[in-house]
Amino acid sequence: MAIATLGYDDLPALLTRLTGDEKHDVSAVSTLDVLWVLHDRVLGPDDRFLLSKGHGPAAFYAVLAAKGLIPVDALDGFGSFNSMLGYHPDRTLVPAAGIGSGSLGHGLAIAVGAALAGRRVYCLVGDAELDEGSNWEAVQYAGRIGLERLAVVVVDNRSSTYGWPDGIHARFALEGWSAARCDGRDHDAIEQAFAASDGDRPHVVVAEVATKR
């Protein structure tokens, strides 16, 4: 099995291996740039990344393959019976996945627990995933206790049916988080938004990408 370290420009080819679609439009994968910047520039060797929004994990698998965290060859069997890569990740099959996800609203609470244990944790959620009330239990608690080891990135493609009037960042800020917004396709902006944490409370990055609908 080939283990490779590839670059951002290799991701379209990796995605094609997952989907079999030669015309795959990278820009349609809402999480791709955030995932890339996280794994290429932000995450340290002792940090933990939890993908809470396990839906549509092709971009995640492509990034893991590019970074040598899963074999590139594994992409070819995506979703097949003996594949390690399913339509939602399973951490016991893919340790680099951090957690198994698919049911929305679980990753943030687990991230809080891991941060309480002393780990620096990054968690990716979607804007529609925030419909799930379990997220807000975690957001409220982490904000109140100033859980500075926790960072959340919300990939906001405006897919929540009822939306978030006044913006997602404002809701996290109300709960005591530091909050930054950025263009979810601009790598430098994403990196800067993570760096904008004031260091003594949890930090959220709202990465805005093109509207899903």
Partner 1 sequence: MSMRERFYALAGDALDEDVRVAVVSAEIGVGEIGPHPRHFNVGIREQLMIGVAAGLALEGMRPVAHSYTPFVVERPYEQVKLDLGHQDLGAVLVSTGASYDASTAGRTHQAPEDVAVMAALPGWTIHVPGHPDELGRLFRRALRSDDRVYVRMSQEENVARVDGDGIVVLRRGGEGAALVLAVGPALSETLLATADLDVAVAYTATPRPFDADGLRAVAGSDVVLVEPYLAGTSAGEVAAALVDRPTRIFSIGVPLGEFRHYGTPAEHRAAHGLDARGIRASLERFLRT
- Given the rule CB under 8 A, which residues bind partner 1? 48, 90-92, 99-100, 103, 105-106, 108-119, 121, 133-134, 137-138, 140-141
- Under a CB-based contact definition with an 8 Å cutoff, are residues 69 and 159 in contact? no
In whole angstroms, give the CA distance from residue 115 to residue 113.
5
With respect to partner 1, which residue has the nearer C-beta, 138 or 180? 138
Of 46, 170, 31, nearest to 115 by C-alpha is 46
Residue 129, Cα to own-chain centre: how many angstroms? 12
Minimum CB separation of residue 1 from partner 1 in Å reads: 24
Minimum CB separation of residue 117 from partner 1 in Å reads: 3
With respect to partner 1, which residue has the nearer C-beta, 98 or 126? 98
Cβ neighbours for 145, distance < 8 A, ≥ 6 positions apart: none
With respect to partner 1, which residue has the nearer C-beta, 100 or 126? 100
Minimum CB separation of residue 144 from partner 1 in Å reads: 8
Minimum CB separation of residue 128 from partner 1 in Å reads: 18
With respect to partner 1, which residue has the nearer C-beta, 107 or 184? 107
With respect to partner 1, which residue has the nearer C-beta, 112 or 207? 112
- Under a CB-based contact definition with an 8 Å cutoff, are residues 123 and 108 in contact? yes
With respect to partner 1, which residue has the nearer C-beta, 139 or 193? 139
Minimum CB separation of residue 106 from partner 1 in Å reads: 6
Q: How do beta strands 150-156 and 48-51 pair?
A: unpaired
Minimum CB separation of residue 46 from partner 1 in Å reads: 11
